[in-house]
Structure 1
Amino acid sequence: MNRFEWKPEYSVDDAEIDRQHAELIAIINELAGQLHGEGPSDGARSVFDHLAHYVTTHFAYEEERITRAGYPDDKVAAHQAEHNAILRQLQEFERVFASGDAAALQAMMPFLYGDWLIHHICGTDKEYVPYLTAAR
């Protein structure tokens, strides 16, 4: 199985947020392992549990951090809206999986890697980097 690794271009220049984003990569790798038949048979459930904990803590931390850094309120609101959309999509994957459709796991991989890691972290999150840098 190919494993995803942290890359410098994922960095938002904040050690704690970067650590949390690296945790998302670990979750992606956890899911990839499940898709390749690695890990315990109840591992898919643990991926959803891990994601549920992750989004709750990460989104709250990131939103609070960028607010403290002086990121404009309208941009914080737009960022929160993106976070809410990610959360809704994850809840839908979980709902489909819980209904007995294991294909939800396969469909979740491009979402986690493409939509969340590449689009959101490498795109949207990069917009707040100057505010974090200036706040230091």
Structure 2
Amino acid sequence: MKKFEWSDSLSTGVPMIDSQHKELIAATNEIGEAIERGNGANAIKKLLVFLKFYAEWHFGNEETCAAKHSCPMAGVNQEAHKKFIETFGKLHDQYRQSDASEEIALKIYNELSEWLVSHILKIDTQIGACIKESLAKQA
């Protein structure tokens, strides 16, 4: 399984957001590693619970920053987060209902990896640029 690597192309230029993205990537990679090791349901279940709460906390931080700095993409970002939480919740439910099947865990890993990269590149980098521009004007 390919490990999800951080790269400079994923950087928003906002240290708080970037460090939180790195945590999300690390948690995503832990899911992949648990699947590869066949660590069973408990390891994956704990990681999914952590990821759910961490993602919601991170989304709140990011949305607050975007609103505070009047970023044009704030609404798009918030809507993308809402859809992600709904999708992730459905996948998590499928995982629980499938008796913790590794097939569903792998689906979660793949969708999460793809969504994170796409979201960061398409939306969060624009949010980061807006925040940096706003902060530069305040300086």
Deviations 1:21-50 (A, max 9, x none): 000110111111111026575101111111
- Give distance in 2, aligned partners of 1:48 and 1:38: 15
TM-score relative to the length of structure 2:
0.87
Residue 31 of structure 2: aligned partner: 31
Residue 119 of structure 1: aligned partner: 118
Residue 92 of structure 2: aligned partner: 94
Letter of the 2:31 partner, please give it. L
Letter of the 1:125 partner, please give it. D
Output the aligned Cα RMSD: 1.7
Runs (4+) of structure 1 exceeding 2 A deviation are 1-5, 38-41
Residue 66 of structure 1: aligned partner: 66
Letter of the 1:118 partner, please give it. V
Check conservation: 2:24, 2:55, Cα contact below 8 A. no
- Give distance in 2, aligned partners of 1:104 and 1:40: 12
- Give distance in 1, aligned partners of 2:96 and 2:19: 30
Q: Would the alpha carbon gap of residues 18 and 90 (structure 1) be closer, same or farther in structure 2, given more than 3 Å must change?
A: same
List alignment gaps of at least 5 residues for structure 1: none
List alignment gaps of at least 5 residues for structure 2: none
Check conservation: 2:27, 2:51, Cα contact below 8 A. yes
> How many pairs align?
133
Deviation at 1:79, TM superposition (A): 1.3
Deviation at 1:120, TM superposition (A): 0.3
TM-score relative to the length of structure 1:
0.88
Residue 11 of structure 1: aligned partner: 11
**Percent of aligned positions with the same letter in both sequences?**
22
Deviation at 1:130, TM superposition (A): 2.5
Deviation at 1:78, TM superposition (A): 1.8
